[in-house]
């Protein structure tokens, strides 16, 4: 028997949202998501059958062209492949459970592309580093990459360094899909690791999102 205290597992980062993984099994994944007023989970496709249940607060839950306001006491089921998004338009925090029940016939995680036409790419522009923080930043990037690599759907994470005396760095993050990237982006790991890098840079990072469509590589001689 295992009892999970939902209140103690609530997560709200400095960005106003967070996620805690409660159950991680092959055919059952339960996450608890917290959204401060005005925050949202962007619209994305469900990569499994999803059941949503509000723990406290209320917000707008969208799937396709339909939107409903939901609070505690109700369940909302989203079929695999359908679009879904959540927005807290209230004045109080919204906490809800995301219950996923992947099937054996669902999209596999072993393939980098998993049957998709492209790979989800996040290009991060970091703010300039503070003086004499290069070594600490390199160390942070290596440690954080090892953590992010453990998340489902991760493909690669590449650090791009400045030239000609610059202090700005960039990173290219490849994920299997937007859905797996968002799972990582809302995770406790991401919140904690980006909190650790804040003392090293002179401001927030700027993300840009793309989909990899065509790759051309010169053949070896």
- What are the chain's domains? 7-101 (2.60.120.10), 119-212 (3.30.70.100)
pTM of the shown model = 0.55
Degrees to nearest 5, angle at CA 13 with 33 and 29: 25
Task: State residue 90's pLDDT score.
Answer: 95
CB-side neighbour CA atoms (13 Å) of 35: 24
CB-side neighbour CA atoms (13 Å) of 143: 13
Beta bridge partners of 69: 60
The span from the CA of 196 to the CA of 108, in Å, is 33
Structure-token pair, residue 164: 């000609």
In a structure prediction context, what are the per-residue pLDDT tens digits for the chain, which is 221 residues long? 889 899 988 888 767 888 888 888 878 889 999 999 999 988 888 888 999 999 999 999 999 889 999 999 999 999 988 999 999 999 999 999 999 987 654 444 443 333 344 588 999 999 999 999 999 999 999 999 999 998 888 899 999 998 877 778 999 999 988 778 888 887 888 889 999 999 999 988 888 888 877 777 666 54
Distances (CA, A) of 156 to 22, 32, 120, 181: 26, 26, 11, 12
Task: State residue 109's pLDDT score.
Answer: 41
* DSSP-based three-state secondary structure for 148: helix
Task: State residue 16's pLDDT score.
Answer: 83
* φ, ψ of residue 193 in degrees (nearest 5): -70, -40
CB 44 within 8 A of CB 62: no
CB 32 within 8 A of CB 6: yes
Task: State residue 107's pLDDT score.
Answer: 44
* φ, ψ of residue 31 in degrees (nearest 5): -125, 145
Task: State residue 219's pLDDT score.
Answer: 65
Task: State residue 17's pLDDT score.
Answer: 83
């Amino acid at each position: 028997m295992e009892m999970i205290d939902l209140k103690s597992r609530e997560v709200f980062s400095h960005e106003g949202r967070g996620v805690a993984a409660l159950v991680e099994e092959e055919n059952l994944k339960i996450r608890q998501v917290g959204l401060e007023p005005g925050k949202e989970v962007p619209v994305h496709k469900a990569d499994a059958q999803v059941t949503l249940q509000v723990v406290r607060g209320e917000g707008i839950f969208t799937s396709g062209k339909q939107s409903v306001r939901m609070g505690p006491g109700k369940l909302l089921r989203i079929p695999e492949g359908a679009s879904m998004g959540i927005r807290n338009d209230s004045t109080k925090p919204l906490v809800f459970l995301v219950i996923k029940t992947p099937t054996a016939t669902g999209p596999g995680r072993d393939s980098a592309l998993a049957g998709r036409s492209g790979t989800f790419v996040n290009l991060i522009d970091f703010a300039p580093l503070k003086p004499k923080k290069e070594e600490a930043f390199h160390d942070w990037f290596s440690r954080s990459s090892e953590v992010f690599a453990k998340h489902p759907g991760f493909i690669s994470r590449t650090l791009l360094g400045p030239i000609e005396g610059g202090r700005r760095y960039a990173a290219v993050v490849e994920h299997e899909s937007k859905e797996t990237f968002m799972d990582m982006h809302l995770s406790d790991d991401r919140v904690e690791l980006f909190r650790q890098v804040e003392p090293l840079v002179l401001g927030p990072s700027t993300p840009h999102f793309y989909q990899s469509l065509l790759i051309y590589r010169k053949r070896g001689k």
